[in-house]
Amino acid sequence: MSELYLILHKVRGEPAFDIAEKTMIGKEEGWIIPTSGHRAYPVDTTPLVTPITPVNEADWEALPDHYDAKRDDHSYLEEEARSLLVRRGLIKPKPVNNYRRR
């Protein structure tokens, strides 16, 4: 596996962090997100130089799956992540709807 990087890039108009690897795409250097195969256009990159510590099998099996279709936790963390990005000035807050129904 080639060297991995933490990248900051734009996804659907918003800042997003992903893990990517630098690679040759045709005759030019580019970035690929290995878990999806999508090309990325990072605005900032940081090499991941610390190796990942192996996890024992029992701990691995106990982890929830990121794409588990059966899980329905309504991910409250999405709003916490959005709040953090707003505080850092990376995204704008959602507009407040002041419309009142009669």
In terms of Cα–Cα distance, which of 3, 36, 48 is closest to 22?
3
Do 15 and 90 contact (CB within 8 A), yes or no?
A: yes
Residue 18's alpha-carbon distances to 30, 49, 56, 86, in angstroms, are 15, 15, 25, 18
44-58 pLDDT per residue, tens: 999 988 777 888 899
Q: How many residues does the chain have?
A: 102
Distance CA 31, CA 34 (A): 9
Q: Is pTM beyond 0.75 here?
A: no
Name the one residue in this structure whose structure tokens are 């045709």. Answer: 26
Res. 92 pLDDT band, cuts 50 70 90? confident
pLDDT for residue 74 is more than 60 = no
The segment with the largest mean pLDDT, out of 18-27, 80-89, 91-100, is 18-27
